[in-house]
Structure 1
Amino acid sequence: MQESQASDRPLAYRHRPGAGPTIVFLPGYMSDMEGAKALALDRWAEQHGRAMLRFDYGGVGASGGAFEAQALADWRDDALAMVDQVAEGPVVLVGSSMGGWLMLHVALARPDRVAGLIGIAAAPDYTGWGFTQEEKMTILREGRIVHGERVTSRAFWESGEGLRLLHAPIHIDVPVRLLHGQQDETVPWAYALEIAKQLRSADVQTILVKDGDHRLSRDQDIALLIATVEQLLEAL
């Protein structure tokens, strides 16, 4: 396990040197770098001599910090720190769910480093459309809301509201691939079309999996992800 200091706390990461661009995996909310998709990409990178970086946001997995103290902006800054301090040269960001929101912000902040984007059920602006008005009031009144094992803090929600993107054109010009399952009950697949519409890039492909769920972690889903990554890297 490797460790980097960012945003006043240590971040755990695993960096595999190899041919670039470096694949940087951005996990979803309450997910970490040991998830099925991240590990499958890492195995593929090892087999093909490709550079790969996966990491845990602050307060998640093996990284330090308290989970409920984190804001979306903190995790954006963690991702930027990984790109700035660990990855070398151009990067291709692979963002899962909330990680797909973060990858857009990283691409906007580092246009000179980001060569391509791949979203997996990307969920930009989730704090806006992912909660009912009553749930939003609960967050503001009580400081948190709990859905099963999922906890959303006021700090995270308020930060997310300040980082919404879909209300205006997204000034990103690199190639973008958006994978989304049409049986996704967490992030409606129509958001993939909305992201594609708002992106300035002309090289955007939306790939819908008719029987795919939110995680897209079945063998065939992971095979599709790897094929998409491979094709994009070859094109670059």
Structure 2
Amino acid sequence: MSDIQFHTMPDGVRIAHRHTAGSGPTLVFLPGYMSDMDGGKATALFDWARAQGRACLLLDYSGCGQSDGDFADGTLSAWRDEVLALIDSVVDGAAVLIGSSMGGWLNLLVGAALGPRLAGLIGIASAPDFSDWGFDEDQKARLRAGETVYEDSDYGYDPMPTHARFWADAESHRQLDKAIPLACPVRLLHGQRDTDVPWQISLQLADKLASDDVVVTLVKDGDHRLSRNEDIARLLDIVGEFS
């Protein structure tokens, strides 16, 4: 895409992003694990925002998409810091964080760091703490020993790697074992035919959030991606609440 720009981190890694200026709190989309800003939900959000005159920011984490870096070096901590650096660089004022799958874990970490600049959170099949519930004890033991664990995938990454460095860092950012002190409006979308992230995770997340303004929408025939036309229309209706 011709409007891709790059932000250089202190270590020299360039983070690819797209930004359109506009009104309202900036909509910031956080992709899932091994995903990027070229996905269907991200591009639909960006096109909608541009048409509506809304500010929007898309990005690729280091090691993903068009950003520099090696995916094997990626961690939640590093990706959180990249998102925050981009927000500081290009976002004027408040932000609404929209996280898909792993991005729905990362938006909790970014939101905590944003403080009063956080205007809202939207989670799509949010996957906080998948380093815990997403692996069996044998896999966890191998990750603790520094091995890379590979799993079958339906998303074009076969097999899907989880590196020990990512897993160890992720374990330090678990959220569901304590109260989450975020008081902003939160909207959570989850398909009940999601075979990757149990829809009950969104209910657990809603329970742990300090905010009373939390709405969980369950899509009975929805899968993990929630990328059908009707799913994206539902997402954009929710985004439209944050003006």
TM-score range, shorter chain: over 0.9
Q: How does 1:199-214 map to 2 (within 5 A)?
A: 199-214=209-224
* Counterpart among 6, 12, 20 of residue 9 in structure 2: 6
Distance 1:191 1:175 in 2: 18
1:108 to 76, 91, 112: 112
Q: Equivalents in 1 of 2:166, 2:22: separation in Å?
A: 35
Secondary structure of 2:66's match?
coil
Structure 1's 162 and 93: CA in aligned 2 closer, same or farther, altered over 3 A?
A: same
Q: Counterparts of 1:149-188 in structure 2 under 5 Å?
A: 149=158, 150-188=160-198
* 2:61 aligned partner: 57
> Which residue, 25, 28, 53 being the options, matches 1:24?
28
Gapped regions of structure 1 (runs ≥ 5): none
Q: Does the 8 A contact of 2:127 with 2:201 survive in 1?
A: yes
The two structures, once aligned, show a CA RMSD in angstroms of: 1.0
Distance 1:87 1:4 in 2: 13
Deviations 1:138-165 (A, max 9, x none): 2233521111321110000000000001
Would you say the 8 A contact 1:95–1:122 is kept in 2?
Answer: yes
Unaligned segments of structure 2, at least 5 residues: 153-157
Q: Is the 8 A contact 1:25 1:94 kept in 2?
A: yes
Aligned length: 233
Q: CA deviation at 1:212?
A: 0.2
| Partner of residue 129, structure 1 | 133
* Equivalent-residue separation in structure 2 for 1:79 and 1:124 (angstroms): 17
**Partners in 2 of 1:182 and 1:140 — Cα distance?**
32
CA contact (8 A) 2:45 2:236 kept: yes
Q: Indicate if the aligned counterparts of 1:177 and 1:206 stay in contact, CA closer than 8 A.
A: yes
Contact 2:146 2:165 (C-alpha < 8 Å) held by counterparts: no
Runs of 4+ in 1 over 4 A off after TM superposition: none
Deviation at 1:42, TM superposition (A): 0.6
User: Deviation per CA, 1:103-155, whole angstroms, max 9, x where unpaired?
Assistant: 01111111121100000000111101100001112223352111132111000
Aligned match for 1:70, one of 74, 81, 86: 74
CA distance in 2, matches of 1:181, 1:10: 34
2:87 aligned with 1:83: yes
Percent of matched pairs sharing the same residue: 49
Query: CA separation in 2, counterparts of 1:180 and 1:167?
Result: 20
TM-score (norm: length of structure 2) = 0.94
Cα contact 1:7–1:78 (8 A) shared by 2:
no
